[in-house]
Amino acid sequence: MLEASSQTPDYLTSPTTPPAPAPPSPPPAPTPTKPKQFLSLVSDRPSLRVTSEFDSDSRVFFHKVSCKLFDDLAKLKLSFVNNVKREISEPLLALKSKHLSIHYDPEEQNAHIKTSFDVGPKLHFKAAHDVKAKQGEVAMIANIADPGYAVELSSPVPYVGLPKATIRFPTGEITLEEREAEEEEVPRKLLINGILKGPILNGVGAAHYTDEELKLRYSYKDGALSFIPSISLPSNAVSLALKRRFSPSDKLSYWYNFDSNCWSAVYKHTYDKDFKFKAGYDSEVRLGWASLWVGEENGKAKTAPMKMKVQFMLQVPQDDIKSSALMFRVKKRWDIL
């Protein structure tokens, strides 16, 4: 039998005896590793993360120091404010985990405790407690059907009146809550609040009823234009919002209130995710402004260039241009190994 050689495909060669297999190579020497400890105190990640932020308007520094503990099962945070006189104020110590968080204020000598965990496959429990005020809240959430159907019962501690009930469904939610009346002799009354939304005429309509006020809102969006009128009842306050996207990096937003004749406009230009320019005017406060962001506006400092976010803001009052102010804000993060 003849077969083609992989080295010389233009020729045919006769079969030959296959070579003897090479002896197996010895297994690689095991890499020495440190014995893994159960719930080591400090994680293998950076032991300390320091974030500092300076606001030129208030002229204060805000510092936050954090580290992960017990193989990332918990995080310890310390935050405080430092003014230009090097005075420390508003210290806050926090210990957070998946099911428990404790915030302690040394100045107030008070602690806020929150916990949440699953009681069953479709049952969730959460609670909050203010130690100094001796007040809190407990709640139980049941997912009765998928997707998006749930019932939540919550009650203040100490117990006062009926528990608050919230029914959630894919198109909104309804809340039943008992509140005290403004007059002392009037008994408590049951209030109904709710949100309902759904598709209407190639857009999305929403109705929000709260504290005996109904807000109706319609939102139409396509690739370049957004049209959002809204009205509040019984005040009959009407407003209109327009958003126009000229390109993936250029966007103009306009808002007008027919009741007060106030309006505002904002132009935004994005160079990439780390550079953004915004300029606008607000007729209610008669103020024009412009800002430049280095680093993602709503992102964290760790994702910004050199782990530092910078914002420059210029404010120009219409009635007193000479009092224009240039402000800036800087946020920097360090990972200390």
- Describe the chain by its helix, strand, coil percentages, rounded to 5: 5, 60, 35
pLDDT value at 108 more than 70: yes
State what percent of residues in the chain have pLDDT above 90.
Answer: 58
More reliable by pLDDT, 184 or 268: 268
Average pLDDT, the chain: 84
Q: Which two tokens mark 281? A: 């005017």
Report how far residue 310's alpha carbon sits from residue 296's, in angstroms, rounded to the nearest whole number.
Answer: 9
Report how far residue 256's alpha carbon sits from residue 266's, in angstroms, rounded to the nearest whole number.
Answer: 12
Confidence of residue 299 (pLDDT cuts 50, 70, 90): confident
State residue 19's pLDDT score.
47
The DSSP secondary-structure symbol of 99 reads S
Report how far residue 156's alpha carbon sits from residue 136's, in angstroms, rounded to the nearest whole number.
Answer: 6
Q: Which position has the token pair 């005075």?
A: 87
Q: Which two tokens mark 221? A: 């969006």
What are the pLDDT digits (tens) for 67-87?
A: 988 777 899 999 999 887 888
Alpha-carbon Rg of the chain, whole angstroms? Answer: 31
Amino acid letter at 161? G
Q: Is 120 exposed, middle or buried (0-12, 13-18, 19+ CB in 10 A)?
A: exposed
What are the pLDDT digits (tens) for 2-57?
A: 344 334 333 333 344 444 555 555 555 555 554 444 445 544 555 788 999 998 88
The three-state (H, E, C) secondary structure of 137-173, written as one string: EEEEEEEEECCCEEEEEEEEECCCCCCEEEEEECCEE
Cis amide prior to 170 (ω within 30 degrees): no
Report how far residue 235's alpha carbon sits from residue 228's, in angstroms, rounded to the nearest whole number.
Answer: 19
What are the pLDDT digits (tens) for 127-140?
A: 999 999 999 999 99
State residue 183's pLDDT score.
63
More reliable by pLDDT, 190 or 172: 172
The DSSP secondary-structure symbol of 18 reads P
Query: What's the rounded mean pLDDT across residues 198-220?
Result: 93
Query: What's the rounded mean pLDDT across residues 309-331?
Result: 92
Model pTM score: 0.72
Query: What's the rounded mean pLDDT across residues 201-221?
Result: 93
The DSSP secondary-structure symbol of 41 reads S
- The values of phi and psi at residue 16, to 5°, are -125, 165
The three-state (H, E, C) secondary structure of 181-232, written as one string: CCCCCCCCEEEEEEEEEEEECCEEEEEEEECCEEEEEEEEECCCEEEEEEEE
State residue 30's pLDDT score.
54
State residue 3's pLDDT score.
40
State residue 39's pLDDT score.
47
